[in-house]
Amino acid sequence: MSEAAGTDAEAVLDAARAWLAQDPDEATRAELAPLIDAAAAGDDEASADLVDRFGTRLAFGTAGLRGRLGAGSNRMNRVLVSQAAAGFAAYLREKAGADAAPIVVIGYDGRRNSDVFARDSAELFAGAGLRAVLLPRMLPTPVLAFAVRHLDAAAGVMVTASHNPPDDNGYKVYLGGADEGSQIVAPADAEIAAHIDRVAAAASVADLPRGEYELADESVVEAYIAATATVAPAPAGAAGMTWVYTAMHGVGYETLSAILRAAGYPQPVVVEQQIEPDGRFPTVAFPNPEEPGAMDLSFATAREAGAEFVLANDPDADRLAVAIPDDAADGGWRRLTGNEIGLLLGWRAAQRATAGQTAAAGSGGAVPSLACSLVSSPGLQAVAEHYGLAFHSTLTGFKWISRAPGIVFGFEEALGYLVNPETVRDKDGVSAAVAMLGLIAEAREQGLTLADLLAQFAETFGFFQSGQVSLRVEDVSIIARIMAALRAAPPAQVGEVAVERIDDLLTGADGFPPGDVLRLWLADGSRLIVRPSGTEPKLKAYLDVRGTSAADAAARLAALDAGTRALIAAAPA
């Protein structure tokens, strides 16, 4: 639809009628038909709703598709997913050649319509001449990422919206071969999007050919379980360990429980209200362990069980949250930050790499390396330097982290960790949970807790602390204006600390692909990064300091926080 058509009521009505004619889903047809009738009769509210649904198209990018369920080109539904599958199939056929039949593996989680979207995709891949393999049931995203490599597939699709709100769903795309099962990056995203647009413009989804797909057998899941159990076989210190686990109404528990049996760990006390997959997410408004209140049931269960720690996966189990007892915290439990978890797991990975327990990932004899996104703690670089390993800072997203040369461990502050790159080239909350269990069990053998390990890390590598400042807006153009203002008049100081250098990643600074990111280095060694959120209408600022003590680091962070808030408030919006 052209930009003009997007605002023209008659054109929107035509688009809605054309959509209705090809929609195979009775639920979305029933949702759309009365809106069309009302808008045609002059109902302004119905017309505005149709413009929201059809005035634009849900964009396909490096994160695939993600959006609210419902009828329309700006929603997740069977029409949009069918167009995406047919377009992706055309892209894969173009890359493979006319006579090839590349494998595509499809997975899905427990969200509403995930299974339907997955079956539609499998049938359309098969109809396009690909060998489509559907995973046997709802499973974690990391199992799909693993299956792409395990089955030597050309590509993989995971139907999930991860930790998004309950009314969302999404479509995440991976590539095999030289991409080794990583998520797509440019220019593949634009090339796939172009194929999808051609499909959407040329044909009704009712006319797209469908075929028969294969159902993967349990051996794929069993191979993932076996590989992940080797991440950290249970040491003696695991005996008698009491801990709590929540799946956050997602799909993580069945797979994790099988891995625990294989690796020799005691089963957890589970949060019963959240342990089974449920796409309604009835106990949490936002199924993300980072959100305030999301882990309250976990903490209540832990207090009742006398647990030593809590582990939580998000709904598709690609993220991991960890909490420990803390008398100073509200309710007596504190969730560790993503940076704290990432630094502990990175420390473990560095020790194993230098002890010869971990082979360098990738080819060409790359030096073993640690990697994290540029907004994650600089403490990981200190770990890498301490152990003589290489270090790579990347743009945000595991599509970049997973491609770091020689990677043995990578993380992102938003609770994402890559601990076994030889088998999964994406964040994996299940294997990260196993690695964390190994870390905790080894500490228990020495009479130590996770809190003790955090203190040891600070004494060894420095007192790193991180924070965030976010500005949520109704009008996203405000964010663009703030970023433009910061570029036009770069700040000379943040609070009372002078700015020594500014890297503008829009121009591809430091070898990064161009991105809308400003990185400020301050005279006291602190770092401030400002960028628009990639998933929400927010301006995000990431604060990192390194102090001479815990108290000094806390004071530096508080000062940087205040200075950052003043800087953003002063920028013309």
Residue with tokens 């993300």: 288
pLDDT value of residue 8: 82
The DSSP code sequence of 24-42 is: --HHHHHHHHHHHHHHHTT
Distance CA 341, CA 323 (A): 10
pLDDT value of residue 63: 84
**pLDDT by residue (tens digit) across 230-247?**
999 999 999 999 999 999
- What is the percent of the chain with per-residue pLDDT over 70, rounded to a whole number? 97
The DSSP code sequence of 144-168 is: HHHHHHHTT-SEEEEE--TTS-TTE
- What is the percent of the chain with per-residue pLDDT over 90, rounded to a whole number? 87
Distance CA 67, CA 506 (A): 26
Indicate the range of 94-103, 278-287, 301-310, 519-528 predicted with least confidence.
94-103
Q: What is the mean pLDDT of residues 154-171?
A: 96
Residue 108 pLDDT grade (very low, low, confident, very high; cuts 50, 70, 90): very high
Residues of the chain with CATH 3.40.120.10: 59-216, 228-461
**pLDDT by residue (tens digit) across 440-485?**
999 999 999 999 999 999 999 999 999 999 998 888 889 999 999 9
Residue 196 has pLDDT above 50, yes or no: yes
For the four alpha carbons of 247, 252, 253 and 256, in that order, the dihedral sign comes to negative
Q: How many CB atoms lie within 10 A of CB 230?
A: 15
Query: What's the 3-state SS for 327-382?
Result: CCCHHHEEECCHHHHHHHHHHHHHHHHHCCCCCCCCCCCCCCEEEEECCCCCHHHH
Quote the Cα angle for 347-544-351, to 5°. Answer: 5
Residue 535 pLDDT grade (very low, low, confident, very high; cuts 50, 70, 90): low
Residue 6 pLDDT grade (very low, low, confident, very high; cuts 50, 70, 90): very low
- The closest of 369, 375, 338 to 503, measured between CA atoms, is 375
Q: What is the mean pLDDT of residues 187-193?
A: 95
Cβ-count burial of 160 within 10 angstroms (0-12 exposed, 13-18 middle, 19+ buried)? buried
Indicate the range of 24-28, 136-140, 356-360, 413-417 predicted with least confidence.
356-360
CA–CA distance from 387 to each of 202, 269, 352, 378, 403 (Å)? 56, 37, 10, 15, 21
What is the three-class DSSP state of 411? strand
Q: Which residue has the higher pLDDT, 309 or 3?
A: 309
pLDDT value of residue 1: 34
Residue 568 has pLDDT above 50, yes or no: yes
DSSP state of 421: T
**pLDDT by residue (tens digit) across 201-227?**
998 999 999 999 999 999 999 999 999
pLDDT value of residue 534: 72
Residue 285 has pLDDT above 70, yes or no: yes
- Residue 373 is among the residues annotated as catalytic for this protein: no
In the sheet that holds 538-547, the strands lie side by side as 463-472, 538-547, 527-532, 518-522, 497-504, 493-494
Residue 327 has pLDDT above 50, yes or no: yes
Say if residues 157 and 238 touch (Cβ distance below 8 Å): no
What element of type H or E holds 123? helix 114-127
Distance CA 423, CA 443 (A): 26
Quote the Cα angle for 158-160-166, to 5°. Answer: 170
Residues in the chain: 573
Q: What is the mean pLDDT of residues 254-272?
A: 98
Residue 121 has pLDDT above 90, yes or no: yes
Rg of the chain, C-alpha, whole Å: 24
What element of type H or E holds 220? helix 218-229
**pLDDT by residue (tens digit) across 389-408?**
999 999 889 999 999 999 99
Q: Residue 197 phi/psi, 5° resolution?
A: -60, -40
Q: Which two tokens stand for residue 394?
A: 């990347």
pLDDT value of residue 357: 61
Q: Which two tokens stand for residue 298?
A: 């976990």
Residue 70 pLDDT grade (very low, low, confident, very high; cuts 50, 70, 90): very high
pLDDT value of residue 513: 81
For the four alpha carbons of 182, 185, 188 and 193, in that order, the dihedral sign comes to positive
Residue with tokens 């020799």: 264
- The alpha carbon torsion through 117, 151, 182, 253 (nearest 10 deg) reads 60
Fold of 228-461: Alpha-D-Glucose-1,6-Bisphosphate; Chain A, domain 3 (3.40.120)
DSSP state of 499: E
Residue 65 has pLDDT above 50, yes or no: yes
Question: Which CATH code of 3.90.199.10, 3.40.120.10, 3.20.20.100, 1.20.1250.20 fits the domain covering 59-216?
Answer: 3.40.120.10
What is the three-class DSSP state of 299? helix
Q: Which residue has the higher pLDDT, 251 or 359?
A: 251
pTM (2 d.p.): 0.93
Distance CA 179, CA 145 (A): 12
pLDDT value of residue 361: 43
pLDDT value of residue 356: 75
Mean per-residue pLDDT of the chain: 94
Q: What is the mean pLDDT of residues 56-74?
A: 93
Distance CA 372, CA 386 (A): 16
Distance CA 250, CA 245 (A): 12
Q: Which of 47, 114, 162, 298 is catalytic?
A: 162
CATH 3.30.310.50 fits 463-570, yes or no: yes
Cβ-count burial of 510 within 10 angstroms (0-12 exposed, 13-18 middle, 19+ buried)? exposed
Say if residues 186 and 175 touch (Cβ distance below 8 Å): no
Say if residues 425 and 354 touch (Cβ distance below 8 Å): no
Residues of the chain with CATH 3.30.310.50: 463-570
Give the max Cα distance, the chain. Answer: 75
Distance CA 176, CA 156 (A): 8
What element of type H or E holds 539? strand 538-547
**pLDDT by residue (tens digit) across 11-43?**
999 999 999 999 999 999 999 999 999 999 999
